[in-house]
Each structure stands twice: as structure tokens, then as C-alpha cells.
Structure 1
Amino acid sequence: MPHAARIAAFASAALMLLAIGAALRPLALPEKHTAAPVFDSVEIGFAQDMTAHHQQALLMTQRLDPDAAPTVRRIAEQLAGTQRIEIGTMLGWLRLADASPLPSRPMAWMTDTAAAHRHSPHHPDAPMPGMASTAELDALAAARGRDAEILFLQLMIRHHQGGIAMAMAADRQLADGPVKEAARAMVQYQGQEVGVMSMLLTQLGGELLPQ
């Protein structure tokens, strides 16, 4: 099979995996939670930090070259749609808790911040694991073609890995409730998305960023 045909076939399979994952993904706020929940400091902190984390993911999708390959564009659009829905859910929790949407001390809720930050280089303007630096975001905005596709996948994979570390920490620290359920769902589907994006990155000849 010609090289171009192999990439096209892989791209089709990758998008199918993402679509299946989206279809199977549980709602972030299950219907059984009918009463307004009372959120503790871990739940509030996680919602604040993950909202900020998701907002940077949206920024990365916006800075991807508009002329990037359709496969990478579609992955970016699917990720952006999911992140927007979850941001809305988390902001709803924060309104119920009468809490600010912005964290006063990022990652203060997490008992093992050192473990989380092992998933991300220590950029001075990236206080959470997996976050891109301003220079990296600028580079993504300037990149074009295959370079843009590779850099987007590299940054988004690392971003997802950081989000997974945060969600796993929330799952460990919470006994039950909708925030714990949402954190577990994030670990599952973001892990699937990392797998798909990693395979596509390999097809494009790129390598994962160091953690």
C-alpha cells in the first residue's frame, strides 16, 4: 500500500477511535445527582485548575494552522468541543459552591504536587502539569504545515498527560461524588486520545516532548 494511502487509512481509523470514545464517554455530571452538592476544597481547587488547564487546550486548538491536514484539524475540533463542555460543567460546580472560577493558588488542593510536576517542564508561566509556555504557544501560532501538525500533537499530548496526572490525583483524594466521577472519566478518555495522537505523531515522523 502506498505511503499516502497508509496515512489516510490510519487517519480514518484514528478518527473512528476518537468518535467511539466520545460516544462511550460518561456525562461529567451524572443525572443521579439531583441535589446541589456541597463541594470541599479539593473539589473546588480541581475544578478551578482544570478549567484553566482546559482553557489553554482551547487556545492551542485556536493557534493551530488553519491549513493543517484535515485529520489533525478534526482531532483539534473534537478535543475543543469536549473541553468546552467540561469547562461549562466545572464552572457550574463553582457557581454552586459560590467559588471564584480562578484559582488563587494553583495546585494547592493537590497533596503531591511534586508528582504532578514531574509530568511537565517547569516553565515559569506554566504552574500546572502539561501546560505550554508562552514561547511554545507563540511557536505554535507561527508554525505552518507539517511543522504545525507535529508541534500541535506534541504540545497536546503533553498537555493531556498533565491533565491525566491532575485527574488521577483528584480521584485518589476524593471519596465519591460528581467531581470524582468526572476525574475518572477524564483519565479514561484523555488516555485514549493520547494513544491516538501519539500514533498520528509517529506517522508524521515526530517524537514526544520530554517530560
Structure 2
Amino acid sequence: MTGASRGRRVTVALAVLVLAVAGVLAALAGLRSGRPAGDGPEAGFARDMSVHHAQAVRMSFIVRDRTEDERVRLLAYDIINTQSAQIGMMTAWLDEWELPKTDPAGPMRWMAGHGGHGGSGAARPGGAAAMPGMASREQLDRLERASGRDAEVLYLQLMITHHRAGVEMAEAVLARTGHERVRRLARTMVNGQGSEIALMTDMLRQRGATAGR
């Protein structure tokens, strides 16, 4: 083999290697560019729904200690476990996407224009954050002071309002994202919380109360 022939083979091999490396880098860049944006609906949903879930977990812990009714305690236990696990999942997504856990510009921006929510992060009357369905500080204080049937009724009313808003948020992200993991979790929330709303409405009826709006 002549020196010229060997040189051509080395040149071809180097060219193939360069193309392979370029292909790998392009693939990695594609994966990175496909990661949800910090101000996108996926990140906004993960952040805001985590906050939303955290209050549901808090209210469920409160009522668990304020009633002896086994059905209410079981419902509270299920909400604590389900929504705590979902918070963990959404937090893991934000870590994977290398995104902050809170939006410096405020909550609910991703849902702007959906049902009148989003954008400002301003407070509503009663001290509740500008996030749909959230109980106010005064309502949480009332729940902590209540016991027995009063605690059950107030919890069920607050949680129905909370769940309705959670379903609304999940439906909003379904309309805004094609990210399959986000869509799968949002569908789970719509179905699961919808079933719990029906259950809680029936439990209120048994106590001679209504959910209201």
C-alpha cells in the first residue's frame, strides 16, 4: 500500500468519525432543545400544581386529626398519599429539566387566558394566592378550630372547590402540551379528582350540606 493510499484511508476514517461525533452532538442538542422551557406550560403546571397539592395535603392532615369518621379519614389518607406522590413526581421533572421550583414572575402565568386565571400572582380577598381553588388563611384557621361533623363538612366543601380547580388546571395543561408524561399525569388528575368530587358531594349530602360554588 502506498503512502498516498494510506493517507486517503486515514482521511476517510477521520471524516466518518467527525460525522459520527457531529451526529451524536446533534442528537444531544435535539434532546436538550426538546426539554420544556422555564416559562412553558409544563414547568408552570409542575410548579403550580405542586403548590396546589401541598395545600390539599395540609387540609387532609388537619381533618384527619379533627374527626373520627372512618370514611372521611380514609379519603384524607388517600389524598395525602396520592398528592404527595404526585408532588414528588413533578419535583423530579423540574430537577430533570434543570428548572427552578418557583417562577420568579409569579404563579399561574402559563394558564393566562384560561378561565380568567393567571398572570399577576396578586392576592385575593381573604389572603389566598391568585391560584384557583386555594383555601384562604381564614378558612384554614376555621378548619383547624373545627371538630366532628363541622370539620367534616368544611373539609369536604373546601376540598371540592380545591379539586374542581385542580381539574381545571389539569385540563388547561392538556390543551397546551404534547409532552406525554405531563399529559398522562394530567389525565390521571382529571379522572381521579373528578371521582373524588362525586364521592365528596355524596358525603356532604349525607350530612345535610351542599358543596356550593
What is the TM-score with the length of structure 2 in the denominator?
0.75
Q: Are the equivalent residues in 2 in contact too, given 1:64–1:148 (CA < 8 A)?
A: yes
Q: Are the equivalent residues in 2 in contact too, given 1:154–1:209 (CA < 8 A)?
A: yes
Q: What are the equivalent positions in structure 2 for 1:72-87 lying under 5 Å apart? A: 72-87=72-87
What do you get for the CA RMSD once the two structures are aligned? 2.0
1:95 maps to 95
Q: Does 2:208 match 1:205?
A: yes
Question: Which ranges of structure 1 fall in alignment gaps of 5 or more residues?
Answer: 1-34
Moved more, 65-74 or 161-170: 65-74
Deviations 1:159-180 (A, max 9, x none): 0001001000000111242112
Q: Are the equivalent residues in 1 in contact too, given 2:64–2:72 (CA < 8 A)?
A: no
Q: Does 2:55 match 1:52?
A: no
Report the Cα offset of residue 83 of structure 1: 0.4
- Distance across 2 between alignment mates of 1:112 and 1:199: 32
| Amino acid in structure 2 at the alignment position of 1:172 | A
Q: Are the equivalent residues in 1 in contact too, given 2:114–2:172 (CA < 8 A)?
A: no
Q: Secondary structure at the match of 2:211?
A: coil
2:20 maps to none
1:183 maps to 186
- Distance across 1 between alignment mates of 2:144 and 2:112: 35
Q: Does 2:41 match 1:38?
A: no
Considering only CA atoms, is the larger Rg found in Structure 1 or Structure 2? Answer: 2
**How many residues matched?**
173
Question: Which ranges of structure 2 fall in alignment gaps of 5 or more residues?
Answer: 1-30, 119-123
Q: Secondary structure at the match of 2:98?
A: coil
- Distance across 1 between alignment mates of 2:65 and 2:148: 9
- Distance across 2 between alignment mates of 1:202 and 1:154: 11
Q: What are the equivalent positions in structure 2 for 1:1-211 lying under 5 Å apart? A: 38-40=35-37, 41-64=40-63, 66-68=65-67, 69-104=69-104, 105-116=106-117, 122-123=124-125, 124-210=127-213
2:22 maps to none
Report the Cα offset of residue 146 of structure 1: 0.3
What is the TM-score with the length of structure 1 in the denominator?
0.76
Q: Are the equivalent residues in 2 in contact too, given 1:167–1:187 (CA < 8 A)?
A: yes
